[in-house]
């Protein structure tokens, strides 16, 4: 399973209103398109730590804007 | 559009009234701490050294959030972090991180000395728990079903109650020796491990035959939570334990908590009394009395919805596992 597919699973697990797999394109912006706030972003990253077995530096990802940026960060952390 | 820029300012006479406005945007007039709506009372808390607080303001001087630490424990050198509020219009900005950072970057604690900083992080989301851990705090206790779910603004889980994990950052070395109750020695040793070294005594004493239990209490009617801080154990201890459970049921209390002073030689016997009255482990309340406290608790008239409790740290998960095992053993009569 690719990183983006796995990340989609992580985000869908959050059961956030109005988010479907179709919304979760690489270009989707957390803030504007997915209506994420700081609690949502934190939850996604906590679940990602578990799913990808990585340790997230929460300062580093403070301004992470899109799904593509998240995928890139996860791949970097996972040493891909 | 560029992100808004915020600055943190201490509370003073000129801006104190804005604090009430901040809380009204999130809680209406229902927030259980009355002084946040009363500028004079708020300023008095600050002047008397019981509160340190700041507002986040926009470039246009609009209030976007509030952060504070206050003194609630018997130990007046212990700060408690809490009442961080973000105005809903600014939820999608970085203001929450700015407010949260104030606990650890010295903005709030400037000019104060303390034994440590205690923080209650709600378990209906991860934000505060992650912040605590990343700032170097250790999780030490879990207060089950402490808050009323529907009335709690940040509760997205839909659970009837919200649990809280207690995080602690120690700032000074403890001087008071403590006792470890036999039942909980393994888990307490783990919780103490990241803190500064303690002197642990082992010559436990039986319950006393004279004297009265010295305690204070906090009753939070709006959230049906009742807390006791027990400084010392007296001959009335078994009656006291039974009576508060009966009274809690009469009042409709859901979360009944007792923090026992671990400097009491009768700690082990006192814990056994509490267990026989339905109390189970909660965790460690470091430096609560100057010496450490042991949190015992029970949940009344409510089934804990464990599946809704979100925990970040491995330690917090371990505390929950311990609690579940103990509660399960108590319900089947296999507990010690």
CA distance B189 to B255: 25
Of B28-32, B49-53, B144-148, B251-255, where does mean pLDDT reach its minimum? B28-32
Query: Bridge partners of B7?
Result: B57
Identify the residue with better confidence: A22 or B152. A22
Query: pLDDT, tens digit, for every residue of B207-228?
Result: 999 999 999 999 998 889 999 9
Kindly state the percentage of chain B with pLDDT values over 70.
97
CA distance A42 to chain B (A): 6
Backbone angles phi, psi at A28, to 5 degrees: -60, 130
CB contact under 8 A, A31 and B92: yes
Q: Sheet with B214-220: list strands edge to edge.
A: B6-10, B51-58, B63-70, B78-86, B116-122, B161-170, B138-148, B280-285, B293-299, B255-261, B225-232, B214-220
- Name the nearest CA neighbour of B234 among B260, B267, B257, B209: B209
Tokens of B124: 């209906």
Mean pLDDT across chain B: 93
User: Shortest CB distance from A39 goes to which of B125, B134, B312?
Assistant: B125
Per-residue confidence (pLDDT) for residue B201, from 0 to 100: 92
Mean pLDDT of B273-285: 98
User: Shortest CB distance from B96 goes to which of A36, A38, A58?
Assistant: A38
Closest chain B residue by Cα to residue A49? B312
Query: Bridge partners of A73?
Result: none
Per-residue confidence (pLDDT) for residue B1, from 0 to 100: 47
Does the beta carbon of B76 lie under 8 angstroms from any beta carbon of chain A? no
Q: How confident is the model at residue B153 (pLDDT cuts 50, 70, 90)?
A: low
CB contact under 8 A, A39 and B127: yes
Query: Bridge partners of B78?
Result: B116
User: Is residue B329 scored above 80 in pLDDT?
Assistant: yes
Q: Which of residues 152-211 of B touch A (CB under 8 A)?
A: 154, 156
End-to-end Cα spacing for chain A: 13
- Name the nearest CA neighbour of B329 among B261, B269, B258, B280: B280
CA distance B231 to B214: 5
CB contact under 8 A, A38 and B94: yes
Closest chain B residue by Cα to residue A34? B92
Per-residue confidence (pLDDT) for residue B158, from 0 to 100: 79
Distance of CA B207 to the CA centre of its chain: 28
Q: How confident is the model at residue B154 (pLDDT cuts 50, 70, 90)?
A: low
Chain B contact set for A39 (CB, 8 A): 125-127, 154, 156
Tokens of B33: 């701490």
By CB neighbour count within 10 A (0-12 exposed, 13-18 middle, 19+ buried), where does A59 fall?
Answer: exposed
- Name the nearest CA neighbour of B205 among B263, B149, B166: B263
Of A14-23, B175-184, B322-331, where does mean pLDDT reach its minimum? A14-23
At residue B97's C-alpha, the angle toward residues B92 and B100, to 5°, is 130
Query: pLDDT, tens digit, for every residue of B176-212?
Result: 999 999 999 999 999 999 999 999 998 789 999 999 9
DSSP for B24-79 reads HHHHTT--S-GGGG-HHHHHHHHHTTSEEEEEEEETT--EEEEEEEE--SSSTTEE
Tokens of B113: 């000395």
User: Shortest CB distance from A37 goes to which of B91, B126, B310?
Assistant: B91
Does the beta carbon of B26 lie under 8 angstroms from any beta carbon of chain A? no
Contact between A59 and A73 under an 8 Å Cβ cutoff? The reply is no
Tokens of B125: 């989301």
Three-state secondary-structure class, residue B129: helix
Chain A contact set for B126 (CB, 8 A): 39, 42-43, 46
Distances B155 to A18, A31, B119, B195, B320 between C-alpha atoms, Å: 18, 20, 18, 31, 19
Q: Token pair 């796995």 is at which residue? A: A6
Q: Which helix (H) or strand (E) holds B131?
A: helix B127-134
Query: pLDDT, tens digit, for every residue of B43-101?
Result: 999 999 999 999 999 999 999 999 999 999 999 999 999 889 999 999 888 898 899 88
Give the count of beta carbons closer than 10 Å to the beta carbon of residue B334.
8
User: Shortest CB distance from B125 goes to which of A31, A43, A59?
Assistant: A43
Find which of B91, B132, B159 to mutate to test the A interface (most A CBs within 10 Å of its CB).
B91
Chain B contact set for A45 (CB, 8 A): 130
Mean pLDDT of B291-301: 97
CA distance B225 to B218: 8
Mean pLDDT across chain A: 91
Find which of A32, A36, A42, A61 to mutate to test the B interface (most B CBs within 10 Å of its CB).
A42
Per-residue confidence (pLDDT) for residue B2, from 0 to 100: 60
User: Is residue B332 scored above 90 in pLDDT?
Assistant: no
CA distance B134 to chain A (A): 8
Q: How confident is the model at residue A72 (pLDDT cuts 50, 70, 90)?
A: very high
Per-residue confidence (pLDDT) for residue B219, from 0 to 100: 94
Per-residue confidence (pLDDT) for residue A38, from 0 to 100: 83
């Amino acid at each position: 399973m690719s990183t983006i597919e796995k990340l989609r699973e992580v985000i869908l697990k959050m059961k956030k209103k109005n988010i479907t797999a179709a919304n979760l394109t690489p270009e989707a912006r957390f803030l504007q398109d997915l209506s994420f706030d700081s609690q949502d972003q934190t939850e996604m990253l906590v679940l990602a730590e578990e799913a990808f077995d990585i340790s997230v530096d929460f300062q580093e990802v403070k301004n992470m804007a899109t799904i593509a940026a998240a995928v890139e960060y996860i791949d970097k952390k996972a040493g891909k | 559009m560029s992100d808004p820029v915020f600055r943190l300012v201490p509370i003073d006479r000129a801006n104190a009234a804005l604090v009430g406005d901040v809380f009204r945007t999130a809680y209406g007039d229902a927030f259980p701490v009355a002084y946040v709506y009363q500028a004079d009372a708020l300023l008095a808390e600050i002047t008397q050294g019981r509160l340190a607080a700041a507002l986040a303001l926009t470039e246009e001087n609009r209030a976007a959030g509030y952060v504070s630490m206050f003194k609630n424990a018997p130990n007046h050198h212990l700060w408690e972090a809490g009442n961080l509020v973000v105005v809903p219009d600014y939820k999608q900005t970085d203001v929450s991180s700015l407010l949260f950072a104030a606990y650890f970057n010295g903005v709030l604690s400037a000019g104060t000395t303390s034994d440590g900083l205690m923080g209650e992080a709600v378990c209906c989301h991860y934000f505060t728990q992650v912040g605590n851990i990343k700032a170097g705090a250790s999780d030490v206790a879990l207060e089950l079903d402490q808050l009323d779910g529907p009335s709690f603004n940040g509760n997205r889980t839909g659970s009837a109650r919200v649990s809280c994990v207690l995080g602690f950052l120690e700032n000074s070395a403890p001087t008071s020796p403590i006792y470890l109750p036999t039942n909980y020695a393994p888990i307490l040793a783990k919780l103490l491990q990241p803190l500064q070294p303690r002197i642990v005594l082992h010559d436990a004493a039986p319950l006393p035959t004279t004297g009265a239990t010295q305690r204070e209490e906090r009753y939070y009617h709006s959230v049906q939570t009742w807390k006791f801080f027990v400084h010392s154990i007296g001959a009335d201890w078994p009656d006291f334990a039974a009576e508060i459970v009966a009274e809690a049921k009469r009042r409709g209390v859901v979360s009944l908590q007792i923090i026992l002073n671990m400097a009491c030689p009768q700690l082990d016997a006192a814990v056994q009394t509490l267990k026989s009255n339905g109390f189970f482990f909660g965790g460690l309340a470091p430096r609560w009395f100057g010496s450490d406290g042991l949190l015992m608790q029970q949940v009344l008239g409510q089934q804990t919805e464990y599946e809704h409790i979100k925990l970040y740290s491995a330690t917090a998960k371990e505390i929950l596992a311990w609690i579940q095992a103990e509660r399960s053993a108590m319900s089947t009569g296999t507990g010690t």
